[in-house]
Each structure stands twice: as structure tokens, then as C-alpha cells.
Amino acid sequence: MQPEHHQILIIGAGPAGISAGVEASEQKLDCLILDKGDVLETIRQFYHQGKRVDEDYHGIKVCQTGHVKFQTETKEDFIAQIEEEITHHNLQIRKHEIAERIARQDQNFLVYTNKKAYSSKYLVLAIGIFSKPVKIPVDVAPEAKPKVLTNLGSQDQKGMKILVVGGGNSAAEFAVFLQKNNEVLISYRKPAFFRLNDVNSKAVKRLVENRKLKIIFESNIKKIEVKDDKALVHLDTKGKVEQLLFDQVVFGFGGTTPTQLLEDAGITFEDNKPLLTENFEAKNTKNLFMVGDIAHKDSATIAKALNDGHEVIKFISSRE
């Protein structure tokens, strides 16, 4: 069967992919968006209910340039706004289609998903950095698995004792949110936090000072079992192992990038950084673009992702 052809194929329906789709629609370019989950899957999964979606995330101010713009608002309002844009621009989006393999054929890209094959002249990779969930590096007994989470999604925890594991921004945001209605302890393997942004760092410090949050540095979980319908955590702190009971254990590790998929597409890396031109085009592969978190990594924000979508389609349309 012939692959389904589109002028532009966008992989990922996060802020970057949707913004690119909206701009393509404004330019009357033929475009299809694929996502392995729902639209805004990362935001639906990793942001807790009612989370404030900050315009100046990490204190990074970005002048928004494209058709899709937002101001600080709740997760639910942000999702509703993006869904309105999708309807208004009549975007073609196929949900629950995972791009599993990418190849080249003549001047086109071939993308194989779990459902079918597509081809396109332009390929825009907007898959974010959460595409591959990080494996939990701990021995978890099968009966304990329902008590071990890697994101908060739409869960509504109240009155629980929760262990948050990790020392990055995801772990800090989970802990700051969860402590409002629960007793929360953070376990981190290092002696201090090194990677927190300013907002999270101040929030954690204030909560610790007010005894609303506890942190055990230099601690590692050895295994998780179940006892009395709770997660029994074997926690090694500087060589001393304690057994602690929690209602839930939440790993705030974020995710990783599927490097193989990107390399197959034609992205090359130097010091783990993708080699891109200022127009987000792969240095070694014409008509292949990378936008959003995956292009920016540590300094990534929604506003940047939205702008990337705008810039990349402006560039593609100038080439047509």
C-alpha cells in the first residue's frame, strides 16, 4: 500500500506541533499532525489539576510571535484554548499513532507508525523530551506497582503520606503541589539540589522552613514492597537502611529522548546537542526540522515552543 502523502508531517501534538499546524493552516499548506497520545499529552499527564501554566516559565521571558499565544492561566484553560485553535483551524490530527521508524525515500520522508505509513516533503519533529518514560531504577514488587507513579495526571491525592523521588524541577513541582493536601517527603540521591529553577528552589526552601515539606538528601530507594496496603520503601540514607510506609511513591524523573528515531530521520548530534541551523533545520538533512523542547532542552518553555512552530512554518513557506 502506498504511504499516505502530505506536504508537511508534524510528529507531536504538543505546543510546538500545534503551533506549527496552526501556522501551516494560516499559510494554506497541507499538513498532518501525529501524536502517540492525546493532544497536549505531556501537559495532560505531567501537570497536576489546576496547575498554573506560567508564561514566563523558569523566569524566561519570551515575546510571543505566532498566531497561538497564551498568558498565564490554568492547565484546564490552556488545554481548552488550544482545543479551540485546533477546531478553528480545522487541524488534521491523528491521535494514538506512535512514530516508530523514520526513513528517506528519494526527496521524501517516510514515517511508519503503529498503524500505517506516511510520506512527506517536510518533516517537523516536535516530540518533546518526555517521549520515553524513564525506567524506574528500583526493584518494585508487582503488588506495589499501583502505588508507584511517574506523573500526577488527573489524580486527586488528599490526606496521603507521599514520597516524591528526584531532585529536578519535575520532582520539586510535584512535591510543592502535593504538600497542599498531603504529607510529603522528598528523597534525593545527591547532597543538595543543583538543577532547580529559581521559582521551584524558593518554593521548596520556604516549605522546608515552614515544616511543610521534608527532604532526605543522599538517600536511595533499595526496593518497594507492600505492607498493610501501603508502599513499604526500603530507604538507604548514607548507608543506613530504614523501612518507611507511604500511600504513594511518585518518581519525578521526567523522560528521555528517543535518540535512535532522531538519528534515523537524519539528525546528527554533537556533545548530545542536535545540530540545527537557526531555522531549526537539521544541518545535514534538508527539509527536516526539530522544534520545541527537543530543540531547546534545559531552557525549554511553552512560549518558546509556540514561537518555534511559527518560525519553522514561516521558513518552510518561504521555500515553497
Ligand X SMILES: Cc1cc2nc3c(=O)[nH]c(=O)nc-3n(C[C@H](O)[C@H](O)[C@H](O)COP(=O)(O)OP(=O)(O)OC[C@H]3O[C@@H](n4cnc5c(N)ncnc54)[C@H](O)[C@@H]3O)c2cc1C
Instruction: Give the angle 257-260-266 at the CA atoms, nearest 5°.
Output: 105
Residues in 42-81 that interact with ligand X by CB under 6 A: 42-43, 46-47, 53-54, 57
- With CB under 6 A, what is the number of residues at the site for ligand X? 35
Residue among 118, 122, 130, 253 that touches ligand X (CB under 6 A): 130
Determine the interface stretch with ligand X among 24-32, 154-162, 233-241, 297-305 (rule: CB under 6 A).
297-305
Decide: is 131 part of the binding site for ligand X (CB under 6 A): yes
Name the minimum Å distance from CB 25 to ligand X. Answer: 17
From CA 99, how far away is CA 36, in angstroms rounded?
A: 7
Residue with cell 510546538: 16
Site string for ligand X, 3-22 (x = CB under 6 A): --------xxxxxxx-----
Cα–Cα nearest to 171, from 109, 216, 222, 112: 216
Residue with cell 554533537: 270
Residue among 9, 99, 124, 196 that touches ligand X (CB under 6 A): 99
**Angle between helix 75-88 and 15-26 (nearest 10):** 30
Decide: is 204 part of the binding site for ligand X (CB under 6 A): no
From CA 159, how far away is CA 161, in angstroms rounded?
A: 7
By beta-carbon proximity to ligand X, the closer residue of 43 and 215 is 43
Strands 117-125 and 4-11: what pairing? parallel
From CA 68, how far away is CA 178, in angstroms rounded?
A: 31
Decide: is 301 part of the binding site for ligand X (CB under 6 A): yes
Contacts with ligand X by CB under 6 A lie at 11-17, 34-37, 41-43, 46-47, 53-54, 57, 98-99, 126-128, 130-131, 170, 173, 292-293, 300-303, 305
